[in-house]
């Protein structure tokens, strides 16, 4: 696969498991990726909580370029929180993370507050 050195933004339309081998392979070939958008949310394919090499080898952009992650349709379930934690631990130059709450948060400010605390 060729390197996509000019690709700085990737928008993934479907819900994505961040430990998906195809996703990780794609990210390894995008060393200058600065923005990663998960339109329909994120999760893990397993119930793993620890980050014991889950994303190894790390995509190069996680170490040097990835500054913004956006997660859409965020509901705050444990699987999503575990995925976020792993991303936060492994993105070394991350500056911003935007969580776009799902419609289930409308009219429930307490749930937003609880998620913000976590």
The domain spans of the chain are 9-117
Q: What is the pLDDT of residue 111?
A: 74
Q: What is the pLDDT of residue 54?
A: 85
pLDDT (tens place) for every residue of the chain, 118 residues total: 789 999 999 999 999 999 999 999 999 999 999 999 999 999 998 766 666 678 889 999 999 999 999 999 998 888 999 999 999 999 999 999 999 988 777 667 777 777 777 6
- Alpha-carbon Rg of the chain, whole angstroms? 14
Q: What is the pLDDT of residue 103?
A: 79
Q: What is the pLDDT of residue 50?
A: 65
Residue 51 near residue 86, CB atoms below 8 Å: yes
Residue 64 near residue 93, CB atoms below 8 Å: yes
Taking alpha carbons only, the member of 115, 117, 91, 95 closest to residue 104 is 115
Q: What is the pLDDT of residue 48?
A: 66
């Amino acid at each position: 696969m060729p390197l996509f050195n000019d690709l700085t933004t990737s928008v993934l339309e479907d819900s994505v498991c961040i430990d998906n081998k195809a996703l990780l392979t794609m990210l390894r070939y995008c060393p200058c990726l600065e923005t990663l958008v998960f339109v329909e949310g994120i999760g893990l394919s397993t119930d793993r909580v620890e980050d014991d090499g889950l994303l190894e080898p790390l995509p190069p952009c996680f170490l040097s370029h990835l500054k913004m992650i956006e997660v859409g349709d965020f509901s705050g379930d444990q699987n999503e929180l575990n995925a976020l934690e792993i991303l936060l631990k492994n993105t070394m130059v991350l500056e911003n993370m935007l969580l776009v709450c799902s419609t289930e948060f409308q009219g429930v400010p307490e749930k937003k507050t609880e998620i913000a605390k976590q």
